[in-house]
A and B are shown apart, each in its own frame.
Chain A
Amino acid sequence: MALTNENITQRLTEKFGEDLSEVEEPYGLLTFSAPKLLNLKVLQFLYDDPELRFQFLTDLTAVHYPDRKGAELAVVYLLHNMRDNIRIRFKVYTDIREPDVFSATALFASANWMERETFDFFGVRFVGHPNLKRILNVDEMDYFPLRKEYPLEDQTRVDKDDDMFGRGTDKWFQP
């Protein structure tokens, strides 16, 4: 039986039933989400199943939606079945006040640094990760920069003239 998005959805609903939500196919890529406590079960199922065989983790990242209260951080897994050439996207939502998600490092060795990067940028704590510390930013940084509330520029700069960049207050007319 050829592996298509319908087959995969059917197998997933057989196994997980109501836990699956938001099943959609933007641009042909099957996307679904599940509660965060089940993320390892879903990944394991997709890995072990002899028909599905999603054994390659292409990408692991997070997105911050400040408007979705209670599910602000979405951890996105992008999996790939190389034999049948199918990709699938799996999202897990977590609250920003308790951003704990189970780590997938036992299953995929490549998840190690990708989870560290997600922790560095968004603050998602991966439970069970062997070495969860900042990877790209300096270790002393105390905030999570890619969250929407933080600005891009370095706020401690004193040499930049904000008026020139159109960002300053209207001080220019004062003597």
Chain B
Amino acid sequence: MMTCSAGERTNGFNLNHEKRRQAMEDQVVSTQQHMPLSQDSLEKETTTLNLGPTHPATHGVFQNVLEMDGERVVSAEPTVGYIHRAFEKIAERRPFYQVTPLTDRLNYCSSPINNMGWHLTVEKLLGIETPKRVDYMRIIIMELARISDHLICNSVVGVDSGAYSGFLYVMQYRELIYEIYEEICGSRLTTNIGRVGGFERNFNDTVYQKLDRFLREYPDVLKEFENLFNRNRIFIDRTVGVGRITPERALNYGFTRPNLRATGVDYDVRVATPYSSYQDLEFSVPVGSTGDSYDRFLVRNEEMWQSLSMIRQALALMKKEPSDIYHAQVPKYYLPEKADVYTKMEALIWHFKIVMGETDIPPGEVYHSVEGANGELGFYLISDGGRAAYRLHFRRPCFIYYQAYPELIKNALLSDAVVCMSSLNLIAGEMDA
């Protein structure tokens, strides 16, 4: 049962909490009775099944070696590193503005969030404060990215349980989100959006038109998607009780964000330590109760509704600000306009200094985290005053919570293991960095 404050959003999911818990217990007990694991059977031996690294449904490359007793998983050992690209070492070579394309490729389903997180970290180090309008622009883009990521995750959960149509419905609207990114930064997927201090260009009219179209058409599609899955008997049977985890174990394993909120812990970085003017928006944080795949699915759906309302609020707030601000006034770190570079002396000097790396970057160490779509994406940056970072470490949520996967699927059936894996939203690029 979900607690959310926007009253009109509870769509009649009225199962009594007690009854549902009882139903889940019965289900677990009944399957155990049908498949007894006899202790003294002479033929009892386990088979090894290799789940991955190549997966159907393009999950991404990570591997699980499962020990199975028939159809039941006895133990699992995950291996990662099949797409290790040494981001942290590359970042020691590159100046700060060149690290943004690397951060794109961490969680590539929602790359603007990674970009913004990196810019916020560098701004914290350099002490730059961005104007409100830039913050609202960032919020719009981050929430669009969050919707985009949750769409992939939820539709892939559908595909893994056999329902391909939901995926096709929502891919159309992901294309619209990609078109919005293209208007702003030129690229669809690995966006490299924004700069330290703001954005490289203002939102033009096409962006507003496309955003309006998205906000108008998408709620109906999301409703249709929910109608397909939320009360679907087959989907509920596939996902309820699968991959359950208690809040204490989840905290011990380092879960954050939707996976943690599905277990019942009410923690959101945007509420606890607001960054980029999130405190000006009103939103509620959906929290689940049992921590199984069904709750994760519902929490992600509800977060998409909240993101839509946040985009609307940010657009309204943006209209109150003067419409030509799109970056902070920090000539030391933000490249000047090209027209000025060719005509004015100071602009030329700043341009030269920034590109050749002669600006003063204060030495220090900073840690900043944003609400990524999977968890708390943190950037630990140590600068020694040079052009590139001395050490940059990404706190990657997928890497940290994938450790809990063997515990989640202990004694589950193989098909449950697959659904659990996709409901955790494991993105390989983020796992291996």
Query: What is the interface of chain A, defined by CB distance below 8 A to chain B?
Result: 26-27, 29, 31, 55-59, 61, 63-64, 76, 78, 82, 85, 87, 89, 108-110, 112-114, 117, 121, 134-138, 145-146, 152
Contacts and interface: CB of A to CB of B under 8 A. Distances in A.
B218 interface: no
Interface in B224-267: 249, 251-254, 265, 267
Given A58-B395, A59-B393, 10 more contacts: A58-B369, A82-B267, A85-B272, A87-B367, A109-B403, A113-B403, A117-B399, A136-B81, A137-B84, A145-B89
Given A109-B403, A136-B80, A61 B380 contact: yes
A87 B403 CA distance: 23
Contacts of A29: 366-367
Contacts of A61: 380, 393
Contact of A85 (B92, B254, B273): B273
Given A56-B251, A63-B391, A145 B86 contact: yes
Interface of B: 79-81, 84, 86, 88-90, 92-93, 124-125, 249, 251-254, 265, 267, 272-273, 364-367, 369, 376, 378, 380, 382, 390-391, 393, 395, 399-404, 432-433
Interface majority SS (helix, strand, loop, mixed), chain A = mixed
Contacts of B92: 152
A32 to B, nearest CB: 13
Contacts, number: 88
B90 A56 contact: no
Interface majority SS (helix, strand, loop, mixed), chain B = mixed
Nearest to A55: B251
B90 A152 contact: yes
Contacts of B81: 134-138
21 contacts: A27-B364, A56-B254, A57-B254, A58-B254, A58-B376, A61-B380, A61-B393, A63-B390, A78-B378, A78-B395, A82-B251, A89-B367, A109-B254, A109-B404, A110-B252, A135-B80, A136-B84, A137-B81, A138-B81, A146-B89, A152-B93
A28 B433 CA distance: 28
Contacts of B382: 63
A138 B273 CA distance: 38
Contacts of A31: 365
Given A27-B124, A58-B254, A59-B378, A110 B403 contact: yes
Given A108-B254, A113-B400, A26 B366 contact: yes
Contacts of B90: 152
Nearest to B403: A113
Contact of B252 (A108, A135, A137): A108
Nearest to B401: A110
Determine which residue in A26, A31, A64 has the highest number of CB atoms from chain B within 10 A of its CB, and name it: A26
Contacts of B366: 26-27, 29
Contacts of B378: 58-59, 78
A109 B249 contact: yes
B253 A109 contact: yes
Nearest to B376: A58
Nearest to A151: B89
Contact of A152 (B89, B364, B400): B89
A76 B390 CA distance: 15
A152 B403 contact: no
A70 B393 CA distance: 23
A158 to B, nearest CB: 20
A102 B302 CA distance: 42
A153 B401 CA distance: 30
A78 B252 contact: no
Nearest to A91: B365
Contacts of A87: 367
Nearest to A64: B391
A132 B49 CA distance: 23
Contacts of A135: 79-81
B116 to A, nearest CB: 18
Contacts of B273: 85
B254 A152 contact: no
B431 to A, nearest CB: 9
A104 B86 CA distance: 25
Nearest to B84: A136
B254 A121 contact: no
